[in-house]
Amino acid sequence: MNAKATKTQPSPAIDKAAFKSAVIKHLHCTLGTDENKANNHAWWKATCAAIQEQVLEGLRKTQKSHYLNDTRAVHYFSAEFLMGRLLSNNLQNFGLFDVASGALKELGVEISDILEEEPDMALGNGGLGRLAACFIDSLATMELPAIGYGIHYENGLFRQEIKSGAQIERPDSWRDYGNPWEICRPESIQEVSLYGYVETKYGENGRVLKEWHPGSIVKGVPWDIPVVGYEGKTVNVLRLWQSESSGYFNWDVFNAGGYVDAQRENVQAETISKVLYPNDETEAGKELRLIQQYFFCSCSLKDIIRRYKRAHGDDWSRFADQVVIQLNDTHPAISVPELMRILVDRAELGWDEAWGICTKVFAYTNHTLLPEALEKWPARMIEKILPRHLEIIYEINHRFMAEVDKKWPGDNAMKAKLSIIEEGNEKMVRMGHLSVIGSFAVNGVAEMHSRLVKSSLFPEFDELYPGKLTNVTNGITPRRWLKACNPALSKLIDKKIGDDWPRDLDKLQGLTKFATNKTFQKQFMKVKLENKELLADEIRKSLDLEVDVNAIFDVQIKRLHEYKRQHLALLHIMALYRRILENPDYDMHPRVFVFGAKAAPGYKLAKDIIYAINKVADKVNNDPRVNNKIKIAFLPNYRVSLAEKMIPAADVSEQISTAGKEASGTGNMKLALNGAVTIGTLDGANVEIAEEVGDDNIFIFGLTVEEVNELKATGYNPHDYYYKDPEIKAVLDWLETDYFTPGKPGALVSIKQSLLDNGDPYMVLADFRAYSDAQIAVDAAYRDKERWAEMAIINTAKMGKFTSDRSIRDYVDRVWKLSSCKIES
């Protein structure tokens, strides 16, 4: 049964002939070249320029409509936006992909070739940054007034090369040859103060006035990236700030004896937005990082206030009706004292009135419970860089302590626990506490994570502020993560259930009834096979490695971190290898283990794990005794555009973090949406994926959070597993030999040490056997072709919940209270 064509497919604004002339016009007039001379890069730029005409028209109309309707808007503050490539996305969203592809073909150009010319905008580390990108896509698609605020890093996340198995970091220069999407807005430059000292003055009726005399001032230059919603009606912006020197030298501070501080110009202004810190989930604690955070928050708040004042003058009473600011983790938490400073010192509002505004404007999303990711800044560092902000933080805390005393009279332990200030050798400012206290809503990112935020991270805050802590489960945009990255599957789905699922992902439920239909199963698995062929080509090009597309494609793609347990996957692969060596007839369906992962440059063990995967790969891939039953492909430089090629080709999705550690995960959603079956722990959003697809369509294994905690409490000893399970022992001992690193015994020993001597903090050994058994079940299931096809289809069919449109709907209803705004044409 083929469903009718629906009306929701974007209808192209221009036809092929018009698009073709636009491309040629830009080739001539924007790029100064012509059809005979143009290379793929020039064609790419001309095509971008052609579509940018539509984009900018949409942007102008959107801004006009928002202004005329004086809309309430959400301002998404995030230190990271992992946008990836924009051309194919923008073409898709305008419904112009086929038009452009046809026009280019007539010009003798393959669209797939020019799409490859676009560098990724990699202004983020991983899930947190990509979530921000999915959210602004949904906001535009749902016609909600929204603006993303972040940093215009000159260098995004490093480019990863693999040399002799080891990770090497190279700078990422995404703008070297110009970025066709961004628009510089010099008319909206802001100034940001740093360093210096605070002067106390007395105004009329004895009012205490604080004046900050900064030691240096830098300029923030805004660059706007248009964000095109599906069907191209609303075009919102992502505004990224670039730092520049203001040429300003503070004589005032110089003369007041602050000579050294005045010289702070040598934190050269330009360095502020030079580079993205490459640490995912580890707080860097570096002065420059705090400056980056303050820099973009201060610019963004001033930008918001400028826009508000244009409509409302000095009347602050409506500010909180018009403005809501979402803090993406604690990275923008310094916004809370910054807004207080602007309101109290600049606008001269009373403290209570200012605090009333603040706590109606901010909402905070927590993304992790890992202690190493919870930001704390030395009070002395804040005092040096932002002396007035430290005073404000103390004042906020002073008043908060009084509230705590009201609730728990005389309980000093409680005060110490909840205080924004952590006492100790060095006083530290807890940015999480500041964010909870300064916000009207706090959310975790998956049901289980939000439960843990309430029960173990912030239980007292939950008692103090009932209802403030809530959940919004993460989501992903189906436009990029199915429609654009998997055109073959998208077309099959269109034919079967109609083409309005990219807007209404619950429609995929309609596939359920075909899950056992033999014809549909064949069609679905044929698409999967074609996608595996494409990835096999990529693996051949990148690694010079041949893989069998009839093997199970088993994919683990995410940042490298011990808690994500890529080393659990590695130990299992080594165990399989060993079983084959011991028994050449060892019965297993051939498997290709595909990895993509970057390690933080300073994270030694993570880099060792990458090295180990590559060394084991060298050996296994070239050992004829393996008889092609196992291949290992570690694809270098994992990034959004590579994910778009890997995800459609996956049969199995590895989501094997220690229970309680992965707040949500979003790769798990992308893979399942594309018909991969999950092998995973009961962690993060895996729990909700299991609820949606049902126990028969997912492979759950391992300790639960409760079991992890209990084992920890009663004393976990990894040696027990090492001595009790001969396979674990053999595999770990193997790491100590030079079998995988000929001539270099011990090159892989750090992994064994972390699992034994260092106590195996993520309980890899405790979960090994359960994982191995689950993999045996995966193997058996795959051999039953029809059963597997059914599972894969069900996974796609049941992912409706995980569209980022649903996440945004939840934020709108529960937190932001926004209304959509129709764009007048």
Q: Site residues (CB under 6 A) for ligand TH1?
A: 125-128, 131, 280-281, 329, 367-368, 373, 445, 474, 662-666, 684
Q: How far is the CB of 3 from ligand TH1 (least distance, A)?
A: 33
Of residues 185, 279, 172, the one with CA closest to residue 241: 185
Please say whether the beta carbons of 129 and 273 come within 8 A. no
Distance in angstroms (rounded) separating the CA atoms of residues 705 and 686: 13
Of residues 333, 319, 327, 424, the one with CA closest to residue 386: 333
Please say whether the beta carbons of 598 and 792 come within 8 A. no
Q: How far is the CB of 133 from ligand TH1 (least distance, A)?
A: 11
Pairing of strands 677-680, 699-700: parallel
Residue type, 267: V
Longest dimension (CA), the chain: 92
Q: How far is the CB of 567 from ligand TH1 (least distance, A)?
A: 18
| Nearby residues of 792 by Cβ (< 8 Å), 6 or more positions away | 524, 525, 528, 651, 675, 676, 677
Q: For the chain, what percentages of helix, strand and coil (3-state, to nearest 5) are there?
A: 50, 15, 30
For ligand TH1, the closer of residues 368 and 397 by Cβ is 368
For ligand TH1, the closer of residues 128 and 792 by Cβ is 128
Q: How far is the CB of 372 from ligand TH1 (least distance, A)?
A: 9
Q: How far is the CB of 667 from ligand TH1 (least distance, A)?
A: 8
Please say whether the beta carbons of 653 and 673 come within 8 A. no
User: Phi, psi (5° rounding) for residue 107?
Assistant: -90, 5
Please say whether the beta carbons of 559 and 129 come within 8 A. no
Q: How far is the CB of 374 from ligand TH1 (least distance, A)?
A: 9
Distance in angstroms (rounded) separating the CA atoms of residues 93 and 96: 7
One DSSP character per residue, 502-543 reads TT-GGGGGGGGGGTT-HHHHHHHHHHHHHHHHHHHHHHHHHH
HSE, CB side, 13 Å, CA atoms: give it for residue 100: 29
The two three-digit tokens of residue 716, written as one number:
């976990």
* Location of structure tokens 């480019």: 159
The two three-digit tokens of residue 205, written as one number:
């009726």
Q: How far is the CB of 367 from ligand TH1 (least distance, A)?
A: 3
* DSSP 3-state of 632: strand
The two three-digit tokens of residue 509, written as one number:
């439920």
Of residues 528, 524, 529, the one with CA closest to residue 497: 524
Q: How far is the CB of 146 from ligand TH1 (least distance, A)?
A: 18
Q: How far is the CB of 323 from ligand TH1 (least distance, A)?
A: 23
Q: How far is the CB of 270 from ligand TH1 (least distance, A)?
A: 23
* DSSP 3-state of 485: coil
For ligand TH1, the closer of residues 124 and 180 by Cβ is 124
Q: How far is the CB of 440 from ligand TH1 (least distance, A)?
A: 20
Please say whether the beta carbons of 227 and 121 come within 8 A. no
Please say whether the beta carbons of 596 and 557 come within 8 A. yes
One DSSP character per residue, 716-738 reads --HHHHHHH-HHHHHHHHHHHSS
Please list the residues that pair with 384 across neighbouring strands: none
For ligand TH1, the closer of residues 329 and 338 by Cβ is 329
User: Phi, psi (5° rounding) for residue 587?
Assistant: -90, 105
Of residues 494, 478, 477, the one with CA closest to residue 98: 494
Residue type, 824: E
Pairing of strands 652-655, 552-557: parallel
For ligand TH1, the closer of residues 331 and 629 by Cβ is 331
- Which residue's CB atom is positioned nearest to ligand TH1? 127
* DSSP 3-state of 774: helix
Distance in angstroms (rounded) separating the CA atoms of residues 299 and 303: 6
Active site residues: 367, 558-559, 564, 666, 670
Q: How far is CA 809 from the centre of its chain?
A: 19
For ligand TH1, the closer of residues 125 and 160 by Cβ is 125
For ligand TH1, the closer of residues 373 and 543 by Cβ is 373
For ligand TH1, the closer of residues 127 and 148 by Cβ is 127
- Which helix (H) or strand (E) segment holds residue 91: the answer is helix 87-93
Q: How far is the CB of 580 from ligand TH1 (least distance, A)?
A: 34
Residues in the chain: 825
Cα Rg of the chain (Å, integer): 27
Please say whether the beta carbons of 650 and 553 come within 8 A. yes
Of residues 645, 648, 631, the one with CA closest to residue 482: 648
Pairing of strands 323-328, 197-202: unpaired
For ligand TH1, the closer of residues 214 and 278 by Cβ is 278
Q: How far is the CB of 277 from ligand TH1 (least distance, A)?
A: 7
For ligand TH1, the closer of residues 126 and 438 by Cβ is 126
- Taking residue 459's Cβ as centre, other Cβ atoms within 10 Å add up to 13
The two three-digit tokens of residue 324, written as one number:
């809501």
For ligand TH1, the closer of residues 568 and 685 by Cβ is 685
